[in-house]
Amino acid sequence: MLLLATGMTAEAAASIADPWERLSRALTGPQALDEDTVERLEARTVGFHRLEYVLPARAIYQGLTTHITELSNLLQSGPPERFRRRLAATAGEAATLASWIAWDLKQPGQSLSFDRVSTLAAKESGHQIIQACTHAYKSYAVEGRAAHEAVRHAQQFLPAHGDDATRAWLLSRQAEELAALGDRHAVSLLHQAEDAYSRARPHRERAWTRFLDVGRMAAFQLSTYVRLGDDHQVIEAGQAALSAVAQDTDHKKVAVVYADIAQAQLQIGDVTEGVTYARRALESARRSESTWGLQHLATVEKTLAGQKDQAARELLADITSTRRALGTSPA
């Protein structure tokens, strides 16, 4: 998987010209492929989604766009219909990830182009749920009611039954965003998310659902209760999230969990512990170059802004320095 992400040569990268345009033409163009090749390409798309959890965006973007170019070429070759639909589906799954990574790399134009491709691929393949993933990713790029609306839009592409991992993810995201708006209906949504997760098979459903595990579900609960200001539930959820990420190597997820625990500690008045966990969140976000992790620290920054504690002031300075280095701004 690491070779897949980093093994593409500069020569190969130089041959990539607007991969979203190539894929758009392929999906709308005319229709000697075998089962093994299609399965390999599907597995590679899953591999890129898995790599995104543990590697900085810049480390996999080049390999991902090369993969999309290969899919484009095969779609243009006129494969049999049974293969064409599968290639279109895996192209859509790859394109929605490429959009998310392009956003993380501060390339909004390319992100929007890949969004258009994922929409086209979803229609061509008959897998409309690909658009659920696209809009779920978009919900992380905005805030407030816009984030909630993005999640609600994503839910419109869920089937009536099945795909419970995606369903659990979207319900958890909706709970987070409603909690941020002060709506306690978020608690009911958390229960619905847990119910969906109990039926889910994340490692067998969709390329993007491989991230959803007990730790991530615990993190969603923690984030929701922190946003609701429910101190009692925060303590319990925080302990569950800490246990789940104790051995986790996904620094992007760890950064978010630590940021939420930091905010929880600050809410109950423990500045020392709050700063400690915020520092851990910052280090994890820095290691993974995670825009997402830094966004979660924005609330901590606001809470610490009035603190005179020296450790808090040093932390704020380090967060600002990291934002400048990664080219991000507070959410």
DSSP string, 65-127: HHHHHHHHHHHHT---HHHHHHHHHHHHHHHHHHHHHHHHTT-HHHHHHHHHHHHHHHHHHT-
| Whole-number pLDDT of residue 224 | 94
What is the CATH superfamily name and number for domain 213-331? Tetratricopeptide repeat domain (1.25.40.10)
Taking only the tens place, the pLDDT of each residue in 106-158 is 899 999 999 999 999 999 999 999 999 999 999 988 889 999 999 999 999 99
Residue 16: band (very low, low, confident or very high) from pLDDT cuts 50, 70, 90: very low
Q: Check residue 29 and report its DSSP letter.
A: S
Distance, in Å, from the CA atom of 116 to the CA atom of 122, rounded to the nearest integer, reads 10
Length of the chain: 331
Taking only the tens place, the pLDDT of each residue in 25-49 is 666 554 457 898 899 999 999 999 9
Residue 263: its H or E element: helix 251-267
Which of 12, 10, 100 lies closest to 51, judged by CA? Answer: 100
Which of 12-21, 69-78, 169-178, 195-204 has the weakest average pLDDT? 12-21
| Whole-number pLDDT of residue 2 | 47
Residue 93: band (very low, low, confident or very high) from pLDDT cuts 50, 70, 90: very high
Domain map (residue ranges) of the chain: 1-127, 135-201, 213-331
| Whole-number pLDDT of residue 161 | 94
Distance, in Å, from the CA atom of 305 to the CA atom of 57, rounded to the nearest integer, reads 30
Task: Judge contact between 46 and 207, C-beta under 8 A.
Answer: yes
327 or 164, greater pLDDT: 164
Integer Rg of the chain from CA: 20
| Whole-number pLDDT of residue 54 | 81
Which of 68, 61, 71, 69 lies closest to 6, judged by CA? Answer: 61
* Residues sharing a CB contact under 8 Å with residue 198, sequence separation 6 or more, in sequence order: none
Taking only the tens place, the pLDDT of each residue in 218-234 is 889 988 998 998 878 88
258 or 98, greater pLDDT: 98
Distances (CA, A) of 107 to 104, 110, 283, 293: 8, 6, 24, 18
Its pTM stands at 0.82
